[in-house]
Amino acid sequence: IRKVEHIVREEMNKTGALEVLLPAIHPSELWIESGRWESAGPELLRIKDRHDRSYCFGPTHEEVITDLVRREIRSYRDLPRTFYQIQTKFRDEVRPRFGLLRGREFIMKDAYSFDVSDEQADTSYQAMYNAYFNIFKRCGLKFRVVDADTGNIGGKTSQEFMVLAKSGEDKLIVCSECHYAANIEKAYARIQGDSAKVSSVEEMFEVHTPGVESIDEVSKFLKKVPEHLLKVLFYECDDKYICAVVLTGDREVNEVKLKRHLQVNDLKLASHEDLEKISGSFRGYCGPFGLVLGKDRLQKIVVDIRVQEGQVYVSGANKKDFHMDNVVPGRDFEIVDHVDIHDVRAGDLCRQCGKTLVEERGIEVGHIFKLGTKYSESMGAFYTDVNGKQYPVVMGCYGIGITRVAAAAIEQNHDDSGIVFPPPLAPFDVSLILVDLKNSDLKGKADEIYAMLLSNGIDVLYDDREVSPGGKFKDSDLLGIPLRVTVGKKSMLEGKVEVKVRSNKGSTLVDPSALLKWVNDNLTLKP
């Protein structure tokens, strides 16, 4: 963790960012000003002091840093400015899991930029992008930058830095040809299908489908492929109103896209009772026609972009045990709100170049945002320009999960014997193992090597425990120390020591006089 912090701090300082330390406990008034006190949800740990005043344990620090800036910065001459901190955060995760990857308490580097214009803010954003790229490259990690949703933090644009790992909790959609990459929550694909409208289609008609409810069941019963079926889902939006969503049977709703489109914080499927009131039917038999806005809290009808006007589909008939065939969007039901709210999958076509999209898994370790004036306007952080006019400062925010980087490095780099740390993140560079503690000659040589490596800036774990050699070797592998140097009787008979790279299977012998060069050559990634 300290090695990650060291790399992060060096790269942040190179950008000219100033390190600060902000309070961990935030007064509720600041979060009420920004509008996030209510929208943040249960992950925000809310507490009260002895005077019954409300506070929260800060999961992020946009409100606090904006409050600081509005008190201290007055003129365009004071900008641009970027501040960063490395601090412990807390989020009340509903299901803490995966150790350091999804714990309630974690160490994070968060930075905030303040600029006079969108153009200047773009420059600050790019500087942070470059710094993040350098950080994860120096950490020796395989990573990818992807487009991402801004979530509760808000803003115009955001990108995530994802460490690639088969165990990653995030799905990534990546083009096999061009540079397009996005988190599954933000991924878009080229729409495929028949572009020409079907003409002279007979009116829709009922088909008796007793006990046939799911898409798979309807597909088999009517011998129709799922993409030629329509399904209607009803969502409760912020516990205020209901939205109907129409999409093809082969896709699922991307709820993050839907939230962003509706500008709501919470979505959940409507109850059976609400569904029956609105559609007059039961789950599995709902159709997109006959829906009346304003009836029983139904306020919006959203149709996914893959549902094509003029094409022929099958949908529920709004009557139990019946479906409708020859349903034509635009003829049998109106399309007003036609947007992309479906999930993107491997095999879809890239919207940019038309090539095939593939799926990868990743672990989010960094996230950068263009916030615009979301916080500065709501909290009154203004600057005065050269003409004496006041404008809101333009903000950006940038986070790196310090503890997540360490955990992600392990998830990406391990084998059956334990961790295989990239050299820059390993707790030690070299594991020095003394085989026989009772042999004074061997101990003298091991002590000499230890002193030599330390004097040359090499971090060494000197294992002189009274433990079997096999136990020492296993512990060295388990800890993921990149290089191992063994001082034993057999190798010293030849005047050499045994050396091994953690990521390789075999070992070799090296003359002690050449040991430092061997170590340095095999620590090429060390920052």
pLDDT single digits (tens) 22-68 = 999 999 999 999 989 988 878 899 999 999 999 999 999 999 999 99
Please name the amino acid found at residue 517.
K
pLDDT of the residue at 152: 77
Which tens digit of pLDDT belongs to each residue from 122-156? 999 999 999 999 999 999 999 999 999 888 787 88
pLDDT of the residue at 151: 82
Q: List 362's β-bridge partners, or say none.
A: 164, 170
Q: How far is CA 68 from the centre of its chain?
A: 28
The crossing angle, in degrees rounded to 10, of helices 118-138 and 2-14 is: 140
Lowest mean pLDDT among 8-12, 100-104, 174-178: 100-104
Domains and CATH numbers, the chain: 2-174+360-412 (3.30.930.10), 205-339 (3.90.960.10), 418-521 (3.40.50.800)
Contact between 401 and 364 (Cβ < 8 Å): yes
Distance in angstroms (rounded) separating the CA atoms of residues 245 and 251? 12
pLDDT of the residue at 97: 61
Q: Is the pLDDT of residue 527 over 60?
A: no
pLDDT bracket for residue 522 (50, 70, 90): very high
pLDDT of the residue at 197: 60
Which tens digit of pLDDT belongs to each residue from 167-188? 898 999 999 999 899 999 999 9
Computed over every residue of the chain, the mean pLDDT equals: 93
Contact between 69 and 81 (Cβ < 8 Å): yes
Polymer length of the chain: 527
pLDDT of the residue at 98: 64
pLDDT of the residue at 277: 86
Q: Quote the tokens at residue 270.
A: 């409507």
Distance in angstroms (rounded) separating the CA atoms of residues 194 and 311? 8
C-alpha distances in Å from residue 362, one per residue of 181, 225, 368, 411? 12, 32, 16, 10
pLDDT of the residue at 93: 74
Q: Is the pLDDT of residue 330 over 70?
A: yes
pLDDT above 90 as % of the chain: 83
pLDDT bracket for residue 472 (50, 70, 90): very high
Task: Identify the sign of the CA torsion 457, 460, 462, 468.
Answer: negative
C-alpha distances in Å from residue 500, one per residue of 431, 454, 467? 10, 19, 20
pLDDT of the residue at 104: 83
Q: Is the pLDDT of residue 278 over 90?
A: no
pLDDT of the residue at 99: 66
pLDDT of the residue at 100: 65
Q: Quote the tokens at residue 261.
A: 């489109």
Contact between 395 and 374 (Cβ < 8 Å): yes
- HSE, side-chain direction, 13 A CA sphere, residue 97: 5
Indicate the pTM of the whole model. Answer: 0.87
pLDDT of the residue at 521: 93
What string of DSSP letters covers 344-395? Answer: P-TTSEETTT-PBEEEEEEEEEEEEEEEETHHHHHHT-EEE-TTS-EEEPEE
What string of DSSP letters covers 1-21? Answer: -HHHHHHHHHHHHHTTPEE--
pLDDT bracket for residue 218 (50, 70, 90): very high
pLDDT of the residue at 282: 80
